[in-house]
Amino acid sequence: MATLALEGIRKSFGPVEVLHGIDLDVADGEMIVMVGASGCGKSTLLRLVAGLEVPTEGRILIGGRDVTALEPAERDIAMVFQNYALYPHMTVFGNMAYGLKIRGLPRAEIARRVQEAADLLGIGALLDRRPRQLSGGQRQRVAMGRAIVREPKLFLFDEPLSNLDAKLRVQMRAEIRRLQRRLGVTSLFVTHDQTEAMTLGDRLVVMNAGRAAQVATPMQVWSRPADVFVAGFIGSPAMNFLDATLTHGGTAATLRAGPVLPFADGRRAGPEGMGLVLGIRPEHVLAAAPGEAGEWEAAVTVVVELAEPLGSETVLHGRLPDGEELTARLPAAEVPALGGAAQVSLALRLPAAALHVFEASGGRRLDPVA
Amino acid sequence: MQRKAIFGGRALPYALLLPQLAVTLVFFFWPAGMALYQSVLREDPFGLAAEFVWFENFAEVLSDPGYLQSLRTTAVFAASVTLLSLSAGLFLAVQADKVRRGAGLYRTLLIWPYAVAPAVAAVLWLFLFHPEIGLLGRALNAAGIPWDYRLNGGQAMALVVLAASWKQVSYNFLFFLAGLHAIPASVLEAAAIDGAKPVRRFWTVVFPLLSPTTFFLLVVNLVYAFFDTFGVIHALTRGGPGNATETLIYRVYVDGVDNLDLGGSAAQSVILMAIVVALTAIQFRYIERRVHY
C-alpha cells in the first residue's frame, strides 16, 4: 500500500509524442480510473507506471520512492492484463504462485497465500486446472488472484473487463471494486468504458490526446466537465452542444438558432459577442407546449428525425431550425405519437440551470465571475 | 471445419492426384519394394545369380559387431548433431528476436546455410579444418595442438558433427524464431512484473512455451542426422579414419556400392526404413495431440 505520484510525464515513440506532460497524485488506497478514447495514451501511461516502458521525461514515485529507472520486478506492483496473460503451461496454482516462488517464499507460505486468494475469488476448486480449461470469467479471476497474492503496493488494471460478456462485466466490475476496497490497495484502472469509469473510480483521469483533460471525482466530472471533450465523452447519450454568443452584458447567451438563454448561475466575463458553446445533457431537456417556457428557460422547436424508445424513456434525435442537432431523453408519456411520412415538430425547453458554458475557442469551461 | 470439394465426376480428382502418386510410386514405393525384395536374396556381385535366403541377411547384419559399432556411432553422431544444432538455432533465434533494426537482414543471413548443398558445406569446413591447407587446421597445429581429423577418430567425429549441425542450424533458427513470435508479449511482461529476471523468464516461461516447436525440431533433426548427412560424411571423412564416422546410412553405401553386398545393404536399408517410420509415427502422434500444454 502506497501513494503514487507522476511528475511531468512525457513519452515519445520516435518522433511522435504520445504523452504531453502528465501530473497526478494518488492517495494511499485510492482507485484511479484513467478513461479516454483509444489512442489517447492511457495504456501507455499505465505501462510507464508498470515499468514496461521508460518515460522520455518526468518522474514516477511509488510510496515516495523514485522508481523511474527501476525494472518492473523492482517496483512491487501487480498488473492485470486485457488478455489476462496467464502462463498457459502452468496450472492455476502455478500461475498464482509464480511471483511468490521467485521471491523465494517458503512453500507452506505460498500454498497458504494462494489458497487464501483463490478462496476469496471463488476459484479455490480450480487450482489444478490449466488456463485453457477455464472460462473467460474464471481466467479473469485467476489473473486477479495472481495480482493479489503478491500483496503489491500498487494494482494496475489494463482494460481487464473488455474481453468479458456484458453480464459478467457488470458482475466483475462490482467484484473488483469490493476487492479493492477490502484490500485497500492503491489502484490504477484503465478503460475506455465510461460506465466502468464512473462506477469504479474514486477519481477519474479523463485523457484526451496525451493530456489529462480533467482529474476529479466521477460526479464532478459529470456535473462540471472541464472542457467540451470531457463533457462530450462522459454521459450517454452524449451531451448536446449548441453554438451561441455572449450577449446582454455577459448575463445571457443567444443561441445561433435564435432564442436567448439567461445564465442561472451568474454573469460570464468576456467581450460582447464572444463565441460560446452551450452544453446540455439530453436528460435535462424538457418537453413543453409551445410558448410555455418560463423565465429561466429557452424554448426551441425541433424537427424529429429519429425516436428510440427505451421503455420508460424515449431518446429523440431532432434538428433545430438552424440545422444543429439536439438529442432529448424524455419520459415516454411526454413524447407524441410519431409515425407516417409527415414531419413532426416538437417544442422543447432548455432549462438554464442545466446549462454548461464553454468558450468556443479552446473549449474550456467558462465559470461565472464571483 | 474441413470443407469438401465437390467434383462432378470421378476422373478429375484421380487425375489431380496422379502426378503426386506417380512421383511417390516411382521414387519411393518402387525402390522401397526392391529393397525389401533384395533384403531376402543373396546375389553375386555381378547380379548374375540370386538365391532366396529368407532373413539370413538380417541375421548377419544384426550379429555383425561392425554393424553394432556403426549403430553406436550413429547414436553419438545423431545426438550430438541434434543437441548442437537445436541449441545453436535456439540461441540465434533468441538473439535475433531481440533485434529490432535490421531484423530482416539478420534473418536472411542466418537462413543462408540451409541453401548450401551438403557436399559444398563439407568442402567449406574442409578448407577451414584441413590440417595442411585449412585456416583453422593450420592455426591449431601451429598453436601446438595436434590436429588431424584424418588420423584422429574423435576429431573426425567432431568435424562431421560440426559440419552437419551447421547445415541444420538455419532450419531450427527459422522454426524457433516463429515459435518465439507466437508467444504473446503480455505473458512475458506479466512474468517481468512478477519479478522474473530475463534468464529465469527464459527457462520458466519462454522455453516451456516453445516445447511444441522443440519437440517437432527434435524429431526432424534426428531424421536429418540419421538420413540426410551422407553427403557431409562422404565429402569430409568417407566414414574414416577406421570406422570412426561410419554411420548407418554411410554403411549402407559402403556395403552396397564398395563391397557389393547387395543383400546385406538392402537389409540395412530396410532397418533404416523401419527407424524412420517409427520416428515419423512418434512425431505425428504427439504433434496431433499437442500434449505440451
Residues from chain B that touch A87, judged by Cβ atoms under 8 A, are 187, 190-191, 205
Please name which of B235, B265, B247, B253 lies closest in space to residue B125, comparing C-alpha atoms. B235
Both A276 and A186 in one domain: the answer is: no
How many other CB atoms sit within 10 Å of the CB of residue B132?
9
Range of the domain at A73: 4-225
B183 part of contact set with chain A, CB < 8 Å: no
Give the integer Cα–Cα distance in Å for B190 and A152: 14
Q: Do B184 and A52 touch (CB under 8 A)?
A: no
Mutate which: A87, A95, A113, vs B, most B CBs within 10 A: A87
Both A219 and A248 in one domain: the answer is: no
Query: Which residues, in sequence order, are CB contacts of A294 under 8 Å at separation 6+?
Result: A349
Average pLDDT value for chain B = 83
Amino acid present at A162:
S
Residues from chain A that touch B209, judged by Cβ atoms under 8 A, are 88-89
Q: Are the C-beta atoms of residues A155 and A147 closer than 8 Å to each other?
A: yes
For the segment B84-91, the average pLDDT, to the nearest whole number, is 93
Mutate which: B194, B199, B211, B214, vs A, most A CBs within 10 A: B194
Considering the domain boundaries, does residue A364 fall inside one? no
Both A69 and A147 in one domain: the answer is: yes
When pLDDT is cut at 50, 70 and 90, the band that residue B291 belongs to is: very low
Both A64 and A204 in one domain: the answer is: yes
**Cross-strand bridge partners of residue A257:** none
Please name which of B185, B169, B188 lies closest in space to residue B93, comparing C-alpha atoms. B169
Higher pLDDT, A145 or B67: A145
What percent of chain A is modeled with pLDDT above 70?
96
B-chain residue closest to A97, CA distance: B194
Considering the domain boundaries, does residue A231 fall inside one? no
Alpha-carbon gap: A167 to the closest alpha carbon of chain B (Å): 26
Considering the domain boundaries, does residue A232 fall inside one? no
A-chain residue closest to B189, CA distance: A52
Give the integer Cα–Cα distance in Å for B129 and B240: 16
What pLDDT does residue B266 have? 84
Give the integer Cα–Cα distance in Å for A296 and A285: 13
**CATH number of the domain that residue A143 is part of:** 3.40.50.300
**Domains of chain B by range and CATH?**
66-289 (1.10.3720.10)
Q: Which three cell numbers stand for residue A178?
A: 469490493
Q: Is the pLDDT of residue B248 over 90?
A: no
Q: Which of A225, A249, A267 is the last residue of a domain?
A: A225
Domain total for chain A? 2
What percent of chain B is modeled with pLDDT above 90?
13
B-chain residue closest to A75, CA distance: B193
What pLDDT does residue B1 have? 46
Query: Which residues, in sequence order, are CB contacts of B198 under 8 Å at separation 6+?
Result: none
Pairing of strands B50-52, B41-43: antiparallel
Both A220 and A250 in one domain: the answer is: no
Q: Do A73 and B192 touch (CB under 8 A)?
A: yes
Average pLDDT value for chain A = 88
CA distances from A13 to A43, A58, B193, B225 (A): 14, 15, 22, 46
Both A216 and A87 in one domain: the answer is: yes
The beta-strand segments (E) located in chain A are 4-13, 16-26, 31-35, 57-62, 65-66, 77-80, 154-158, 186-191, 203-208, 211-216, 240-247, 252-255, 260-262, 275-280, 286-287, 297-309, 313-319, 325-331, 345-351, 356-359
Q: Which of A175, A192, A225 is the last residue of a domain?
A: A225
Which of A11-25, A343-357, B20-34, B44-58 comes out lowest in average pLDDT?
Answer: B44-58
- Please give the angle made by the CA atoms of B8, B11 and B15, to the nearest 5 degrees: 120
When pLDDT is cut at 50, 70 and 90, the band that residue B255 belongs to is: confident
pTM: 0.78
Both A353 and A213 in one domain: the answer is: no
What pLDDT does residue B253 have? 86
B-chain residue closest to A50, CA distance: B193
The DSSP output letter for A282 is G
**CATH number of the domain that residue A340 is part of:** 2.40.50.140
How many other CB atoms sit within 10 Å of the CB of residue A324?
17
B162 part of contact set with chain A, CB < 8 Å: no
For the segment B286-293, the average pLDDT, to the nearest whole number, is 58
Considering the domain boundaries, does residue A365 fall inside one? no
Both A28 and A67 in one domain: the answer is: yes
Please name which of A270, A302, A1 lies closest in space to residue A153, comparing C-alpha atoms. A1
Q: Do B189 and A102 touch (CB under 8 A)?
A: no
Q: Which of A73, A85, A103 sits opposite B186 (nearest CB)?
A: A85
